[in-house]
């Protein structure tokens, strides 16, 4: 039996509370997550270096073209530096523009997934989840967007552009339904939602909004009804912006590196972004 003199108690208590046993005393544990997207390493003269500021890294799409020679090496580098890496694919990871194309996805998704699976701590998330701990669930989906139909052109019903557009909308709706399911099935979790495409126009910069509704509808879709509890944080990409917003009390953020000739890191200070989940 451990016996302490009264004079020893404060010193013992301090040592005990600062040890691994302090988890029993903690009432306010936070999880931090470093996040980035749209690195487009195939367009960079020098592959961006990410300095760990957290144990966990989320990459919200568009590492680059999947056949880029440095694609796997980039993921290996992050695997070596972080305890866990969570990767949500973007359209460029499937060798695509902003429109869904089933043949391209069926060709490249297994390829990209296999690269991720070659590292034990790199988790590929596209309509699937990962339990970080008993409280925190990480969910990931490319999401796609719901672009407005064009009103300045007329297409026949058998025009392949019509069928591709409809296929794109169906795929987007499938991802929206999946996200809705995550929300409904995990009421007692703290959910971190990772997507590539954007769920709110509040994360679209004015310079992009100025292009008009049709153009911006390829970037973002108004899904603010889904930005709610149990989601605590929603991180996305695609817009090549560095921006944050609060929607329905939920932290929303983008930390996109961008193409080699347009990135938002002129001073290289913004690249290492971290968000905390209470």
* CATH code of the domain in which 72 resides: 3.60.21.10
- Has residue 3 been placed in a domain? no
Q: Which of 92, 63, 43, 96 is nearest to 261 (CA)?
A: 43
- Has residue 12 been placed in a domain? no
- Has residue 23 been placed in a domain? no
- Has residue 67 been placed in a domain? yes
pTM given for the model? 0.86
- Has residue 13 been placed in a domain? no
In terms of residue numbers, what domain contains 127? 28-277
- What residues pair up with 122 in beta bridges, in sequence order? 85
Average pLDDT, the chain: 87
pLDDT value of residue 29? 73
Helices (H), the chain: 9-17, 71-81, 102-117, 160-185, 206-209, 213-216
Q: Is the pLDDT of residue 24 over 50?
A: no
- Has residue 36 been placed in a domain? yes
Least confidently predicted of 3-12, 29-38, 243-252: 3-12
pLDDT value of residue 262? 64
Mean pLDDT of 140-151: 88
- Has residue 8 been placed in a domain? no
pLDDT value of residue 264? 53
pLDDT value of residue 25? 32
pLDDT value of residue 160? 67
Q: What percent of the chain has pLDDT over 70?
A: 82
Count Cα neighbours of 229 within 13 Å in the Cβ-side half-sphere. 4
> For 69-107, how does the pLDDT look when each residue is reduced to its tens digit (9 = 90+)?
899 999 999 999 999 999 999 999 999 999 999 999 999
Alpha-carbon dihedral angle through residues 273, 139, 179, 252, given to the nearest 10 degrees: -10
Number of domains in the chain: 1
> For 235-254, how does the pLDDT look when each residue is reduced to its tens digit (9 = 90+)?
999 999 999 999 999 999 99
Q: Is the pLDDT of residue 20 over 80?
A: no
- Has residue 10 been placed in a domain? no
Burial of 96 (0-12, 13-18, 19+ CB in 10 A): middle
- Is residue 252 within 8 A of residue 246, CB to CB? The reply is yes
pLDDT value of residue 12? 42
pLDDT level of residue 232 (50, 70, 90 thresholds): very high
Give the total residue count for the chain. 278
> For 162-206, how does the pLDDT look when each residue is reduced to its tens digit (9 = 90+)?
888 999 999 999 999 999 999 999 999 999 999 999 999 999 988
> CA 21, 23, 24 angle in degrees (round to 5)?
80
Beta carbons within 8 Å of 46's beta carbon, 6+ residues apart: none
Q: Is the pLDDT of residue 156 over 60?
A: no
């Amino acid at each position: 039996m451990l016996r302490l003199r009264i004079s020893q108690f404060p010193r013992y208590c301090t040592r005990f509370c600062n040890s691994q046993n302090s988890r029993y005393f903690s009432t306010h544990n936070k999880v931090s997550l470093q996040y980035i997207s749209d690195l487009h390493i195939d367009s960079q003269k020098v592959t961006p270096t990410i300095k760990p500021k957290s144990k966990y890294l989320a990459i919200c799409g568009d590492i680059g073209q999947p056949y880029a020679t440095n694609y796997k090496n980039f993921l290996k580098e992050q695997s070596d530096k972080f305890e866990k890496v969570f990767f949500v694919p973007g359209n460029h990871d499937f060798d695509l523009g902003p429109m869904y194309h089933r043949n391209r996805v069926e060709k490249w998704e297994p390829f990209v997934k296999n690269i991720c699976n070659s590292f034990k701590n790199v988790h590929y998330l596209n309509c699937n989840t990962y339990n970080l701990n008993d409280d925190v669930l990480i969910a990931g989906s490319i999401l796609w967007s719901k672009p407005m139909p064009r009103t300045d052109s007329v297409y026949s019903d058998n025009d392949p552009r019509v069928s591709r557009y409809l296929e794109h909308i169906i795929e987007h709706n499938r991802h929206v339904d999946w996200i809705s399911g995550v929300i409904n099935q995990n009421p007692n979790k703290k959910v971190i939602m990772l997507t590539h495409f954007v769920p709110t126009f509040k994360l679209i910069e004015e310079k992009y909004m100025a292009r008009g509704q049709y153009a911006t509808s390829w970037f973002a879709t108004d899904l603010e009804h889904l930005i709610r509890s149990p989601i605590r944080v929603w991180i996305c990409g695609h817009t090549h912006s560095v921006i944050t917003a609060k929607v329905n009390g939920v932290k929303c953020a983008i930390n996109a590196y961008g193409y080699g000739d347009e990135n938002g890191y002129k001073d290289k200070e913004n690249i290492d972004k971290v968000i905390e989940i209470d």
